[in-house]
Each structure stands twice: as C-alpha cells, then as structure tokens.
A and B are shown apart, each in its own frame.
Chain A
Amino acid sequence: MTLPAATSLTTAVEPSCYSRLTNEWVCAQYFVDRKSDLVEATTEHVLITVAAVAFGLLIAFPLALLARRYPRLEATILGVSTGLYTIPSLALFPLLVPFTGLSPTTVVIGLGLYALTILVRSILEGLRSVPEEVRESATGLGYGAGRLLLRIELPLALPVIMAGLRVATVSTVALTTVGSLVAYGGLGNLIKDGVNTNFRAELLAAAVLCVVLAVVLDVLIVLLQRVLTPWTRGVTT
C-alpha cells in the first residue's frame, strides 16, 4: 500500500495528473480518461440549450405579434416577462418543480422563459424597425397581412432578431449550468462534481468547454444570419 498509484497497474509512462497525490488544473490525461463523461455532459448541455431557445422563440413570436397589435397588451407582456427575468435561475427552477418534476423539462422551460423575455423584445423591436414606406409600398402592391409579415417584415427585421437570438443563446448556455440543481445541468453537472470532490481538471475543463460552446453557437448564429440575409453580404465599404 505504499506504492504510488502510477506504478501499480497501468503502463503509463508518467504519473497521472489527477490522483490522490496530484491535482493539476490542466490535465490531458483527464480528457482521455473521462471522454465519455465530457461528451455526455456536452450533449445534454447542447440539447437543453437548443430546446430552451426554441421554446422561447416559439412562444415569443406570437407574443410579439400580439404586443404589436394591441399596445395595452404590450405593457403587460413586457412587464410580466421582465418580472420573470428578475427571478434568479436557482429560484425559478424550484418554483417550476411542483409542475414539471425533477426532469430536463424544468430546466428547459425555466431557461426558455428567460430567453422569451429577450426574444420578445428583439422581435418587437425588429418588426418596428421596418421602415413605414416599405410597408406602405407592399400594401399598395396588394400584399395581405400574412404575406407582408413573411416576405417583407420578417426578412428586414432579421438583423435585430438575430442579435437578440445571439444574446439569448449565449446566456442560455451559461445558465444551463445552474440546472445541476436538479441534476440536469449539462456541463454544470461536471462543474458541481468538480467542486464537491475538489477535482481541478474536471472543473476547469467543464468551465472552459462552457465558454467554448457559447462562442461556437454564437458564431453559428452569425453564419446563419449571413445565409438568411444574402442582400447584406454584398455590402462592403
């Protein structure tokens, strides 16, 4: 029992950088050994984020249209969503638990509500940024309300909406970690484990991956925006 762990069974040349004896922050061995943990956590993280943002978008869109149509409703919608946004995530998830249980749904709905707040404003602002003359010309050409929205207003509102989508997505990635309260926090689960067991390599890896994920998703949305708005691509000054 006095043998160091490294020389006992494995054929590794150098001692592992995480063990009873060492606790390095940066440790390539960790990535090799715990790859499945990381992959599983990252997958869960991505799925929760995408589901939450999609949920938020799905609800934000009709709400924004309603708010645009009925100004009195706008104040209520914005007020309630701001109120929700003020509630800390660690408190919002428990408040949802009696209704959605200890499941990923709780995290997805909670995060979706935050995303909704950002997205409703973005969609509203985006639609309002469409110049009045453009709308008038389209109506003059015979565009009905539905076609007007789909073919004219939405495409022109896209830059603002996409900006909001980026903000919503990046903050959702960060907030998903809090889902570890109900054991559905994606990379947050690894962070929690790392803190509790003082496992430095795990903690740093999960934290860095979180930020990397946020940046990757942000870039993807920017690329999506460029694909969806080809008319802005030719603009170079």
Chain B
Amino acid sequence: MTVFGDTWDYLTTGSNWSGSGGMLELLLQQLLLSVTALAIAVVIGLPVALWLGHLGRGGFLAINISNIGRAVPTFALLALLVTFDFPGRAEFGPYGRAGLATLIALALFALPPIITNSYVAVREVPPEVKESARGMGMTGPQQFFRVELPRALPLIASGVRLALVQVWATATIAALVAGPGLGRVITDGFFRTNYGKGIAGALVVAAVALLLELVAAMAQRAATPPGLGSPERGDDEMSGDAR
C-alpha cells in the first residue's frame, strides 16, 4: 500500500523533524507539557491523598474521583478550556498554542490515578503493622514516614505511572483543539488527507508512549522496597483512564 511508503518517506525526511514546527520540536514540547503536568498533579494530589489515607478520611471522594475522571471525555474538557475566554488559545511560552489550557487539562486528568492509588496504598497497610508501630511508641508522623509510606510506595509509584501514560495520551489529543504537541502532525495529516504524515505522527506518538511506559515500569520497580514484591491486587492498572 502506498500509504506505508508515504509514511516511511515522511519519517525519513530530515526537514520534517527539524526546524520550527518540526516533529522534534513538537515532541519536546509534548514531553515538557507531560512532565510539568505530572509534577503539578503529584505536588497537589500526592500530599492530600497520603494525608487522607493516613487519617482514613475522605475515602469516598478519593475512590470516586477516578470514576468521575473516567466519565469526562478529555477531548470535551480540552475543548471547553480552549473556548473559555481564559485560558483560551493563547501561546504559553515553551508550551505552545493553547499551552495553559492543555496544561490545566493534563494536570486535572493526572490527579485521579495519583489520588486514588495513593489513598488506597496507605489504607492497605495492614492494621497489625500500624498497631506495632503505635505500640513501639511512634508518633503519628513517625508512623507515617517510617512505616506506612515505604509500604505504600509500590502502589503510589504505579499510580504515578498510570498518570504519566494518561497525561501523554491527553497531550496528544490536545491537537484536536489546535493545541500543542505531536498530535498536530496526526491531525494535520488527517484533516488535509496527507495520510502518510498522519500515520507517521501516530507511529512516533505510539513509540514514545511505549518508551515512557517502559521507563515508568523500571522506576516503579526501583521504588519498590526489596522484599515487598510488586503490587498485584488493587493495582488499578486498568482503571480505564480516558486515553
């Protein structure tokens, strides 16, 4: 099929990668967006979820925030944010067109996996372990930092990993609302019937997605304290995030 030839041609033409608006720039833009959004979500969501988990409060919200996040289409939220007067479609520094709207949407969609997993992670620390810590005379913060947190780390890491995949996927979709990132190569290609270009963009997006997942998996394994093994139950792996 000639479309594969077109795709190959597009991928191997250096000018498509370099320069302003080239694939390399868009790729870096999307990576920057993803990392920033993930960092924001972690900074906001992680402490709140861990604290709620430690106290055992707010469980209903923490669990159901994932259900809500799943039901809201990422495309719809991006479209709404871009059409509001603020943040709108303004360029946002290195984040490109509609950068702020995309960043907000990405951070919002990264929150549910982080919050739910972190909350569940702390709740799932066995009560006997918590009792022993209390019995040994540890104060609340000591119990948390020395006992609960290390045991919760694998599931927290899995939540962050899920959030990363979710963020990368949402960042790609941002192109549908004339946003930043590699998705633009796909939408440009498809809306101008240059299918070789569209599929080339799709290949790059997919390849980077798999790479990120691999890196995140290795990071998760590194974050697992030896002797704990990987989280099986309640991994929330397939939490059905809108990707």
Contact = CB atoms under 8 A, between A and B. Distances in A.
Interface of A: 82-83, 85-95, 97-98, 114, 117-118, 121-122, 164, 167-168, 170-171, 173-175, 177-178, 180-182, 188, 191-192, 194-195, 198, 200, 203-204, 206-207, 210-211, 214-215, 218
Contacts of B168: 88
B32 interface: no
B176 A98 contact: no
Given A83-B210, A214-B71, A207 B76 contact: yes
Interface string B221-243: 00000000000000001111111
Interface in B66-113: 67, 70-77, 79-80, 82-83
Nearest to A120: B238
User: What 5 A-B pairs come out closest when comparing CB atoms?
Assistant: A88-B169, A94-B202, A207-B76, A171-B240, A167-B240
Contacts of A98: 1, 3-4, 195, 199
A230 to B, nearest CB: 26
B236 to A, nearest CB: 10
8 contacts: A86-B165, A88-B168, A88-B243, A91-B205, A92-B206, A167-B70, A181-B176, A211-B71
B163 interface: no
Contacts of B187: 90, 181
Interface residues of B, number: 49
A121 B210 contact: no
B243 A85 contact: yes
The listed residue with most B CB atoms (<10 A of its CB), out of A88, A118, A170, A192, is A88
B109 to A, nearest CB: 11
B219 to A, nearest CB: 15
A182 B178 CA distance: 16
Interface in B165-208: 165, 168-169, 172-173, 175-178, 183, 186-187, 189-190, 195, 198-199, 201-203, 205-206
A61 B240 CA distance: 18
Contact of B70 (A83, A94, A117, A170): A170
B82 A117 contact: no
A178 B73 CA distance: 9
B25 interface: no
Contacts of B210: 83, 86-87
Interface of A is mostly: helix
A91 B202 contact: yes
Nearest to B68: A211
A174 B70 contact: yes
Contacts of B240: 118, 167-168, 170-171
B173 A215 contact: no
Contacts of B206: 87-88, 91-92, 95
A214 B71 CA distance: 6
Given A82-B237, A88-B169, A97-B199, A178 B205 contact: no
A206 B72 CA distance: 12
